[in-house]
Amino acid sequence: MADSEHDSGKGGLGTDEMRKIVLGRQIDAVARVISLIGDGMTIDDVTRALAEAEKAANFRCGFVMLDGEAEIKEIIVNEMLARGYATLDEVGAIKLTEAGKVISQVPLPVQIEDNL
């Protein structure tokens, strides 16, 4: 039986690889929202905006779930800081660095962007 933390041997991605991909896409989404709406948003502001856009678009993509996951949001912010994509001010507002502005060019699904 395959270990859940490793590739199943069927040529697919293992759990760790999938987590990295999902985290990367979540980071891209956070950066995109900040670039579209502006600096000064906290992670809670960003995920709330994404969740509201998902509901308004009636387009399921996981942002509603993400908005309720404090631990995952903390991981996203910490990873953005570690990768040099963002800085935080004293109240936790995210400001994109030049590297963060580059990744912010990755568009969200049209249904989401149209409802931000």
CATH number for the domain spanning 45: value is 1.10.10.10
Residue 7 counted as domain residue: no
Residue 28 counted as domain residue: yes
Residue 54 counted as domain residue: yes
Distances (CA, A) of 27 to 10, 23, 24, 41: 28, 6, 5, 14
Give me the pLDDT at residue 16, please: 86
Strand pairing class (94-96; 86-88): antiparallel
Q: Which residues span the domain enclosing 68?
A: 15-111
Number of domains in the chain: 1
Structure tokens at 46: 């960003």
Residue 87 counted as domain residue: yes
pLDDT tens by residue, 3-43: 444 444 455 668 888 889 999 999 999 999 999 998 889 99
Q: Which helix (H) or strand (E) holds 57?
A: helix 43-57
Residue 71 counted as domain residue: yes
pTM reported for the whole predicted model: 0.85
Name the DSSP letter for residue 78: H
Residue 8 counted as domain residue: no
Distance CA 25, CA 29 (A): 6
Kindly state the percentage of the chain with pLDDT values over 90.
79
Residue 21 counted as domain residue: yes
